[in-house]
Chains A and B, each alone.
Chain A
Amino acid sequence: MKNMGVNEVYVPQYTLWLSILAPIVSGTLSGLLGSRISGKTHMLISTISWILSFFLVLPAMKTVILSSGKIIAVDPVYALIPGLGHFSLFIDGISAAFALAIILVSLLIAIYSYPYMEHRFHEMGIPPSWGTYYILYQFFTAGMLGAVLAGNGILFYLFLELTLIPSALLIVFYGYGERIKVGLIYLVWTHIGALLFLLGLFITGTYDFYIPAIGYVIGVSTALLPLVLILIGLGIKSSYAGLHLWLPYAHAEAPTPVSALLSPLLIGIGGYAVIRAAVGYFPETWISIRPFLFAWAIITMLYGGFLVLVQQDIKRLFAYSSISQMGYMLLGLAVANPVGQAGAVLHYVVHAFGKAILFGIAGVFIATIGTRSLKEMGGLLAKMPITAAVALVGFMLISGLPPTMGLWSEVYLAFGYAKWGLSLGASGFASTVIFVVAGMTLTAIYSFIAFRRIFLGEKGPRVDKADEKHAEGLLSPLIILAVLGVAFFVAIALLAEPALYTLKQVYLP
């Protein structure tokens, strides 16, 4: 256990707990009020709860960010559970980035949900069930926030479970296609993932990530079995190649706002937990399996990337792209140096903004021109210039083009890889760099092929119906996300510095 170079500061009592509770309370309220209030009021309640949550987290986040990660913010209220450790909430240089992304995206997608679900209820021919939608939405998103604030593995697991049922129900209630089957597939797969993770923790016998007043829990074991269980468990969550089968179903068939949360926010939390529970608990073992992890990351990047090229359904396309993007995160984690892992942290935020935008854009198409098929698109730029501009920012984020913060995660990941690659000698470096270059090139290529097929070229059959005037409600939250993606390009140090410092001082000294 160590706390080298980091100091702890207590935030006002309960603030972190309340930041999770706020959306839960608003969700419960929504559920109780049901159809007694309008959809717009439901949306406003949820939005306000997230704004509240943001301001509750803000003091903690400010402390962490302004100190560049040298100070950790802990909620003084925690429970000591016999045998399971300290159920505490804290924010450090790593969770700051994750929490910020979750809060901002949850907030904006809550707004996006209103016009989208209005369309969806109408499309399904059912009376609007706003109460049900928003209670599930709020529990789901609150669970994600809780997961990244948790200072304990069991607590993390509990929050992760909190996300599971609501998100599965959202798919079952409001999804597309064979939504009940898809919901079940999603539920079973990711639940197994969570259980394997839990089993790994049980074998390790250590549950705390961070103990208030004592410090981080680092390097508790050198065993391989629990690490493998944890890695597979989180690998299912993050849909690394081979464990990804559930993802295209769930992300393509979920109602679009839920896709915009599942894809960028939820799956990347697997990567977050890898830092805490895999790198943190088993640093030496992690370093020793680097080549294997690197190979897995490359396979994930290429597997997802190549499959994107042949998709005809825009949501499936983005779903496979998410698999490839998780490969990026794993690449950063695999090289096991602070720069690379900071790249993984930044890439979570990049992907959160980018993929939320892109799934949002898919929703714009569903709501306006009524299709998900790329074959029916083409030449939409003329009719939907703002949609195209926002989508372009989304694609730029995931392909790492300036002026979006995607460039930075790419720089960190490439630099992190370079440092590890150098240690492989001339032939090792030459044979691995080819795959890194190929993987990173592929993202840009599939992104711009997709952009071309949607917006450029010959006019597709749906162009005449295209009109973005009525999609303002859907587009505005996406425009804000795009602005955030550009703003953090300039202000990248706010996220990158704390993450890098924490990884350097604590996890990979």
Chain B
Amino acid sequence: MEPAEYALISILVPYIVSGIVLLLGYLRVKWSIIAWIGSLSIGLSSIASFLALAYLHGEEYNRVVYRWVPGLHVDFALRVDMLSAIVGLVVAVLSFLIGLYSIEYIGSWGAVRYWFLYTFFVASMLLLVYADNLVPLFIGWEGTGLSSWGLISFYYDEREEAWVGDPGRTRLGIPMWFTPTHSGLRALGFTRVGDMGMIVGMGVIYALLGTTSITELLENSTHLITQLGDITAIWIILFYLGALAKSAQFPFHEWLVTAMTGPTSVSALIHAATMVKAGVFFALRFTPAIALGAVAVKGLGLNVFEAFTWLSLLTAFATATMAIVARELKLILAYSTASQLSYMLAAIFAAAAAGEPALGTLGGLSHLVSHAVFKAALFLAAGAAIHAVHSRFITDMGQLRRLMPLTFASMLLAGLSLSAIPPFSGWWSKDIVVHAINMISANAALIALFTAFLTAAYTARMIYYVFLWPHKPHGHPHEPGKLMLYPYLVLGIASLALGIFWPNIEYYIAEAATIHEFEQIKFIVIGGTVVGFAGFSIIGVYIVNPRVFAFVEKSTVLIAIRDFLYDRWLLNPVIYRIIVLPSYAFSKSLYVFEQLFDRLVHMGTAWIGQIAMRISGVTELAYDDSLHIKLVRVASSWSSFIRSLQSGDIRSYITYLISGVILVVIITYIVVG
């Protein structure tokens, strides 16, 4: 079988199983059977996507094409190349491990809904990764959006333990806590804006190139940019808008952080394996070709990529500062995801803006792979911790090191990788990322390094509070069951193993990036290592003095800064104040207008009708009067006059006769004479 056919299997199996899950649910089959079928189907996908990678054999790409809608040149086409093969494998394997974890974590409540959405989600993600046509890519893309909505809103009864934020807290009059279904709506709404930009951007490609094939697009990017001319910048923004929204770039990151209302397994799925990686994958897929096309056309549009780079750096920095002060374990990880995604995108965009996109692919893809592994481990371990203490706040945890040693080990391994400590995978990949960012300016690289420092610091703070803090945790924490424990233990160890064998792995990634020579910059390697260690050393400070940051509480300025960070730079209330609430107010006033308009037209018509009736009443009466009364009266008076002439008196008759004769003579005289 061809690699692309394996890819097809890896997509179709979970899609079909999602249908089967619904059917089994309708037949009231036991939840555990449904759960096993769901997660094992993704195991099959993993095997298929492994085979797709294994059988690629150095081919540039391998495709299968099935005709679908010839009129629009849309095929159901899949393309396995190094890029999609690597990402597909990462997606499938991680989703499989998270799936195993979910069996126990989710249990029976909502199992049918969960497994339907889960398998549909993974299938959609694999479709968008392997797609060789813009429309199937868009279908997978929208599929992930839909299923993420369902999974984020999973606890639709709005149970309080699933909320994000502190209940009762408001800023600028806007509530700062979020229930599951509210968050689901936010995820859908925020990403939807981007998706609609993206589909119009795809329409532009179709209009200019007459194709929706991705392979053809990649080969004809110069032609495309030439045709676009001065529309290039607008087109790039539109086309990438979906990716920016999905991958949580400022200000779209708002949906991602509140998405933590979903079950923790869903957070892991969305943040590590699917959904948010879709935007990064999109950028990896298209940016090299578009950037090279732009370079060929006098650099048209490259400034957009530069602007994107700064946007990503802003996101990376902003979300890292929020993570420093967050109190909710999952929220810290969510900020971290937004921050790390921005690293990947910044690398891709910076290299593109500099005209050497291959290095960006190397950095972005490397970090995507290493982040996927350690972030999945972090989330799953976090889920176990939250489950154990029945609280989402790190301030309710502490001392879990003794009670949950394996969870601690997994989280530490993954956390060290996130902090970019050598020799973990995060250290390698972050180094390439910063290298790529350095291509647009040294200042950008410095921001990236500073953010890396913050990253290590918040990671250390998080691990400290959960596992080391001398505070009695809530409840009676203990390690979870094996089905939950092993997936994240494996992933934690994998983050170390990936680092140890990184040079071998990088070989494949380099092939995907079509880059063969890559020289590290000493300054960046050393700088990256130093900031990693420096940031993580904060854990030592905490151990020495747990109340080391108590001084913040004494300064109003510091409290204000902390609250500003805690409230996510007040972006959410600002968005609600300038977009959400005004839209609602607009709807309301529009409805008032509508009712007035309605009344005006219908009452107005009725009023005109009444006037017409009144006028016609008057005219009708007069007409009636003249016809039926006045005319009759005239006729009768005329007849009585005539009658009075016929008196029977002979003299009168003679008088009439003479008058008549005279009249005749006069008339004759006038007429003839």
Contact = CB atoms under 8 A, between A and B. Distances in A.
B200 A411 contact: no
Interface string B188-216: 11001100110111111011100000000
Nearest to A423: B207
Secondary structure class of chain A's binding surface, majority of residues: helix
Contacts of A375: none
Contact of A433 (B22, B238, B594): B238
Contact of A426 (B184, B234, B597): B234
Given A418-B203, A437-B196, A381 B156 contact: yes
B663 interface: no
A421 interface: yes
Given A418-B204, A422-B231, A452-B181, A497 B146 contact: no
A500 B192 CA distance: 27
B588 interface: yes
Nearest to A492: B69
Interface in B144-178: 145-146, 149, 153, 156-158
Interface in A273-323: 303, 306-307, 309-310
A455 interface: yes
B200 A421 contact: yes
Interface in A146-194: 185
A404 to B, nearest CB: 10
B587 interface: yes
A419 B204 CA distance: 6
B69 A493 contact: yes
Contacts of B139: 402-403, 407
Nearest to B116: A389
A371 to B, nearest CB: 20
B179 A457 contact: yes
Given A307-B587, A437-B196, A245 B602 contact: yes
A100 interface: no
Interface stretch (A7-15, A116-124, A225-233, A440-448): A440-448
Given A429-B234, A457-B158, A445 B188 contact: yes
Interface string A418-441: 110110011001100100110011
Interface string B117-144: 0000000100000000001001100110
Given A411-B135, A493-B70, A419 B142 contact: no
A382 B230 CA distance: 53
Contacts of B203: 411, 414-419
Most buried by B among A303, A379, A418: A418
A420 to B, nearest CB: 9
A500 B72 contact: yes
A422 B228 CA distance: 9
Contacts of A500: 71-72
B208 A307 contact: no
Secondary structure class of chain B's binding surface, majority of residues: helix
B618 interface: no
Contact of B189 (A437, A440, A444): A444
Interface in A398-417: 400-403, 407-408, 410-412, 414-417
A456 interface: yes
A238 to B, nearest CB: 17
B584 interface: yes
Given A441-B189, A445-B189, A245 B238 contact: no
Contacts of A449: 185
A70 to B, nearest CB: 12
A339 interface: yes
A25 to B, nearest CB: 38
B69 A422 contact: no
Given A441-B193, A455-B156, A493-B68, A417 B587 contact: no
A458 B181 CA distance: 10
Contacts of B653: none
Contacts of B70: 493, 497
Contact of A497 (B69, B184, B185, B590): B69
A185 B598 CA distance: 11
Nearest to A437: B196
A396 interface: yes
Nearest to A244: B594
Given A416-B203, A436-B196, A448-B149, A245 B156 contact: no
A245 B599 CA distance: 10
Contact of B200 (A306, A437, A497): A437
B36 interface: no
Contacts of B587: 306-307, 309-310
B142 A401 contact: yes
Nearest to A402: B139
A497 B207 contact: no
Contacts of B591: 307, 310
Nearest to A306: B587
Contacts of A403: 139, 143
Contacts of B22: 389
Contact of A437 (B68, B197, B234, B583): B197
Nearest to A428: B231
A496 interface: yes
A407 B142 contact: yes
A277 to B, nearest CB: 24
A464 B138 CA distance: 40
B135 to A, nearest CB: 6
Contacts of A407: 138-139, 142
A415 B206 contact: yes
B152 to A, nearest CB: 11
A429 B236 CA distance: 13
A87 interface: no
B597 A245 contact: yes
B156 A496 contact: no
B189 A307 contact: no
Given A445-B192, A448-B149, A303 B590 contact: yes
B208 A422 contact: yes
A501 interface: yes
Nearest to B26: A386
Nearest to A418: B203
Contacts of B185: 445, 448-449, 452
Contacts of A414: 196, 199-200, 202-203
B586 interface: yes
Contacts of A416: 203
B632 interface: no
Contacts of B645: none
A433 B200 contact: yes
Contact of B69 (A382, A444, A496): A496
Contacts of A429: 231, 234
A414 B242 CA distance: 14
A457 B138 contact: no
B200 A418 contact: yes
Nearest to B67: A493
A41 B382 CA distance: 62
B601 interface: yes
Interface string A448-467: 11001001111100000000
B200 to A, nearest CB: 5
10 contacts: A306-B587, A342-B71, A401-B146, A421-B200, A425-B231, A429-B234, A430-B234, A441-B189, A444-B192, A493-B69
Given A403-B143, A448-B184, A500-B72, 8 more contacts: A245-B597, A306-B587, A402-B124, A402-B143, A403-B139, A429-B231, A445-B188, A452-B185
Query: What are the 4 tightest A-B residue pairs by CB atom distance, in nearest-first order?
Result: A418-B203, A415-B203, A419-B207, A456-B156
Interface of B: 22, 68-72, 124, 135, 138-139, 142-143, 145-146, 149, 153, 156-158, 179, 181, 184-185, 188-189, 192-193, 196-197, 199-204, 206-208, 230-231, 233-234, 238, 583-584, 586-588, 590-591, 594, 597-598, 601-602
Interface of A: 68, 185, 245, 303, 306-307, 309-310, 339, 342, 379, 381-382, 389, 396, 400-403, 407-408, 410-412, 414-419, 421-422, 425-426, 429-430, 433, 436-437, 440-441, 444-445, 448-449, 452, 455-459, 492-493, 496-497, 500-501
